[in-house]
């Protein structure tokens, strides 16, 4: 049975714990696997886009993993409290820390996997660097760094097809001559999108996580082909670093950003569960 948990300094945060299901032949089941913590995707509440987080949590429970999905401050059922956090990003990281503490207290475990989509992937990365309790994370359409091949994958189809080239030029011109639209897009970008860290900072973070043995699963969709356009892109850019040994990458070229098509969502869940079973069973 799923449990509602309130936590945080002011008990302003709300989450749902989906307990791992016991195997059919077990009467005294104790789950010693890490808990999977599912973060908000942007401003979408803890159910996730089209209830993806809810469905994933319940599927993880069937596979023997506790899952916890919660709302960050000011999202869904969690209230935004005035405190000493420097900015909203710091507040979110504090919230994640409170979530880990709350689940540790309830389940007596100090091992966690964090999973996030888009903005959630950004926070999952930062939290994995910050908190020793996190031993793995799953990034869905998170950070990606382009190389020459990625640029070619992106632009060759455009320049070799007159119609697509015309459309691309038209979009650029509309943005160039529409200051109102440009200001609107700039404001939207600042408010609702994560910013890619400098490559040097990313490498430093990845080396730090590698040293503590943290495993990563990076999953990209065709929706972000503007910066990640083929499965081996990560290996081509970072394969010569030691941290790449603990990183697995999957590219679902035909999937959309929120896995609206059920067949794509099924593939996503299967990939996550396979990775979890390989490293954390």
Please count the other Cβ atoms lying within 10 Å of the Cβ belonging to residue 226. 10
Question: What CATH number does the domain located at 3-145+198-280 have?
Answer: 3.40.50.1820
HSE-up of 230 (CA within 13 Å, CB side)? 14
pLDDT of residue 188: 40
Tell me how far apart the alpha carbons of residues 277 and 281 are, in angstroms, rounded to a whole number.
5
- Per-residue pLDDT tens over the stretch 130-162: 999 999 999 999 999 988 675 556 555 555 566
Mean pLDDT for 203-232 is 96
Tell me how far apart the alpha carbons of residues 26 and 149 are, in angstroms, rounded to a whole number.
51
pLDDT of residue 175: 61
Of 164 and 5, the one with more pLDDT = 5
Q: Cβ(280)–Cβ(33) under 8 Å? A: yes
Q: Cβ(242)–Cβ(210) under 8 Å? A: yes
Of 30-34, 71-75, 243-247, the least confident: 30-34
The two structure tokens encoding residue 217: 């699963």
Tell me how far apart the alpha carbons of residues 85 and 197 are, in angstroms, rounded to a whole number.
21
pLDDT of residue 167: 60
pLDDT of residue 163: 66
Phi/psi-derived region of residue 67, left when phi > 0, alpha when psi is between -120 and 50, beta in every other case: beta
pTM, entire model: 0.86
pLDDT of residue 1: 85
pLDDT of residue 31: 72
Tell me how far apart the alpha carbons of residues 102 and 95 are, in angstroms, rounded to a whole number.
10
- Per-residue pLDDT tens over the stretch 7-33: 998 999 999 999 999 876 555 556 789
- Per-residue pLDDT tens over the stretch 170-190: 666 666 666 555 554 444 444
Q: Is the pLDDT of residue 84 over 80?
A: no
Backbone phi, psi, residue 218, to 5°: -105, 120
What whole-number percentage of the chain has pLDDT above 70? Answer: 80
Hey, where are the domains in the chain? 3-145+198-280, 147-195
pLDDT of residue 152: 58
- State how far Cα 214 lies from the chain centre: 15
CA dihedral 265, 267, 270, 276 (to 10 degrees): -90
Q: Is the pLDDT of residue 55 over 80?
A: yes
Tell me how far apart the alpha carbons of residues 64 and 86 are, in angstroms, rounded to a whole number.
38
pLDDT of residue 99: 98
pLDDT of residue 176: 62
Of 67-71, 79-83, 269-273, the least confident: 79-83
Q: Cβ(205)–Cβ(241) under 8 Å? A: no
Which secondary-structure segment (H or E) carries 188?
helix 179-192
């Amino acid at each position: 049975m799923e449990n509602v948990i309130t936590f945080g300094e002011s008990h302003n945060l709300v989450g749902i714990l989906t307990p791992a299901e016991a195997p059919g032949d077990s009467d005294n089941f104790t789950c010693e696997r890490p808990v999977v913590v599912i973060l908000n995707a942007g401003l979408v509440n803890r159910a996730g886009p089209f209830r993806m987080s809810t469905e994933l949590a319940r599927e993880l429970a069937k596979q023997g993993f506790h899952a916890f999905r919660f709302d960050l401050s000011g999202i869904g059922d969690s209230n935004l409290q005035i405190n000493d956090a420097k900015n909203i990003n710091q507040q979110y990281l504090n919230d994640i820390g409170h979530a880990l503490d709350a689940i540790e207290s309830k389940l007596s475990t100090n091992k966690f996997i964090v999973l996030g989509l888009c903005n959630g992937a950004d926070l999952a990365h930062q939290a994995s660097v910050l908190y020793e309790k996190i031993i793995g994370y799953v990034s869905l359409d998170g950070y990606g760094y382009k190389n020459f091949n990625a640029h070619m994958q992106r632009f060759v189809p455009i320049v070799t097809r007159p119609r697509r080239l015309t459309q691309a030029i038209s979009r650029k011109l509309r943005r160039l001559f529409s200051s109102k639209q440009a200001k609107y897009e700039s404001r939207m970008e600042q408010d609702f999108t994560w910013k890619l860290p400098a490559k040097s900072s990313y490498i430093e973070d990845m080396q730090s996580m590698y040293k503590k043995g943290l495993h990563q699963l990076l999953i990209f969709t065709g929706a972000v082909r503007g910066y990640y356009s083929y499965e081996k892109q990560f290996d081509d850019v970072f394969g010569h670093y030691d941290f790449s040994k603990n990183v697995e990458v999957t590219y679902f070229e035909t999937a959309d950003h929120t896995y609206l098509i059920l067949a794509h969502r099924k593939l996503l869940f299967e990939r996550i569960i396979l990775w979890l079973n390989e490293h954390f069973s």
